[in-house]
A and B are shown apart, each in its own frame.
Chain A
């Protein structure tokens, strides 16, 4: 039984020399729901991009039993679904259907299977009637849900989300939290929305300046006001 995410002593610097990750180690078991928090520039996005091989640094990254490397990229990206902060960057096809079908198409599935996956993904996010719509005409909340659907259609084992509730009005935010609550897969959510973290994610990992500075139960860490403040966070 493998861990969903296994990161060992990962370090990474950008071409301009700026060290973004310093000796990061993280283990996430299947089914766990984990929050990744920290100030801007802490390295959260950089870490996330290592999980599906977009970036590669020094150290070991294993997802769902697969070592992340050149040869395994295809399978890794099917196993780890990344949902980025800006839905406009991910909804790049003319229609919703084509966007959600993109993942399964590139997995090499046949047309009937693709259609089935699209239907399942859209119903998981409660957006079935939107299949023929043009992405631009949708609201931010709707786009975020479709963006999640585009990843769900690949039936990933792990879902990684970057700032899912940013830019949403209270109603859309509530709907999204419900949605995330209902999804069964392992989840890693990077967010500034500590209220959502407290509600949804039992484990919390705090990052600052490229390092993991705390990793434990959300309940406990949320009580530690000084710890939070030291790393640019506030008790919600």
Chain B
């Protein structure tokens, strides 16, 4: 039994998939930064940014619904921003009373709320695109290229590698628990036990998972030593960036820069 949901990579033949992981990583971060810096209520810029990310989605052969569906993830968090409609701004839109309270919605507040929603939606699309079009090992390389310490990157790599193994183990533990969670036919016997007992049991499973992880890390350490590990992190050198990649990177950054500049100029 293999847990594949941990690997968001969707193999396709597309120019986006073929692009260097480092360029994709940098462009994704640049895109999210651009979205973040674009002023509130700069609607035409938001539309252009959406057009940009939508084009990439289409180019990536993932299917636009693939990305848009997953982008709804951020939606529940919008609840946190909802009050801003009533607390920010002066221009009254409408107001209503709830008992002793009067709530007044302002247009500035509403604009801000929608801006936050749009920004969040755009950013998460970019992140999904990157994860779905780039094999994780390439993302690790991108992190190395960007300057994240090699030690940390190698830990990330090992964590990702063993997440599959340990999630398998966790699922097996849960299945075993489910297999033993029957209901007695005796009258008056309540199935499930108390919350505390269930929590303690789950804690036991977590503890067991931890223990297995500890012992496994010992075995991995021995395997690493047996192949010459000496404590230093050594990795295969990164392939050089081709001029095509540089061109793609610079073109993307220029595009984003232009959009950001326009946004700040007219709506800042």
Contacts and interface: CB of A to CB of B under 8 A. Distances in A.
Question: Do chains A and B directly touch (beta carbons under 8 Å) in the complex?
Answer: yes
Interface of A: 49, 52, 54, 74, 77-78, 81-82, 84, 86, 88-95, 97-98, 101-103, 105-107, 111, 114, 132, 134-137, 150-151, 154
| A-B complex: 10 closest residue pairs judged by Cβ atoms | A106-B228, A94-B137, A136-B164, A89-B219, A90-B223, A103-B227, A82-B226, A94-B157, A105-B234, A95-B137
B136 interface: yes
Given A82-B226, A102-B229, A134-B161, 7 more contacts: A89-B216, A92-B161, A92-B220, A94-B160, A106-B227, A107-B228, A111-B237
A101 B236 contact: yes
B225 A54 contact: yes
7 contacts: A84-B219, A89-B220, A91-B161, A92-B158, A93-B161, A94-B160, A101-B236
Q: What is the interface residue range for chain B against chain A? A: 20 to 34
A98 B227 contact: no
Given A136-B164, A136-B165, A97 B236 contact: yes
B2 A137 contact: yes
Contact of B227 (A111, A114, A151): A151
A143 to B, nearest CB: 11
Nearest to B219: A89
A52 B224 CA distance: 12
A88 B220 CA distance: 9
Contacts of A102: 224, 227-229
Contacts of A135: 161
Nearest to B163: A136
A147 B158 CA distance: 16
Contacts of A154: 227-228
A92 B224 contact: yes
B89 interface: no
A210 to B, nearest CB: 20
A47 to B, nearest CB: 15
Contact of A98 (B136, B219, B229, B236): B236
Nearest to A53: B225
Contacts of B162: 92
A98 B234 contact: no
Contacts of B229: 102, 106
Contacts of A93: 157-158, 161
Given A84-B219, A136-B2, A52 B161 contact: no
A135 B136 CA distance: 12
Contacts of B226: 52, 54, 77, 81-82, 84
B218 to A, nearest CB: 9
Contacts of A132: 135
Nearest to B160: A94
Interface in B75-134: none
A105 B234 CA distance: 7
A77 B225 contact: yes
A81 B162 CA distance: 23
Contacts of B7: 134, 137
Interface string B199-237: 000000000000000001001101111111110001111
Contact of B236 (A49, A88, A111): A111
Contacts of B225: 54, 77
Nearest to A136: B164
A105 B137 contact: no
B228 A103 contact: yes
Nearest to B162: A92
A189 to B, nearest CB: 16
Contacts of B228: 74, 77-78, 102-103, 106-107, 154
Nearest to B239: A111
A140 to B, nearest CB: 11
Contact of A150 (B161, B220, B227, B234): B227
B35 interface: no
Contacts of B41: none
A29 to B, nearest CB: 23
Given A77-B225, A114-B236, A88 B165 contact: yes
Given A74-B228, A103-B228, A154-B228, A94 B223 contact: no
A134 B236 contact: no
Nearest to A80: B226
B259 interface: no
B140 interface: yes
A90 B157 CA distance: 14
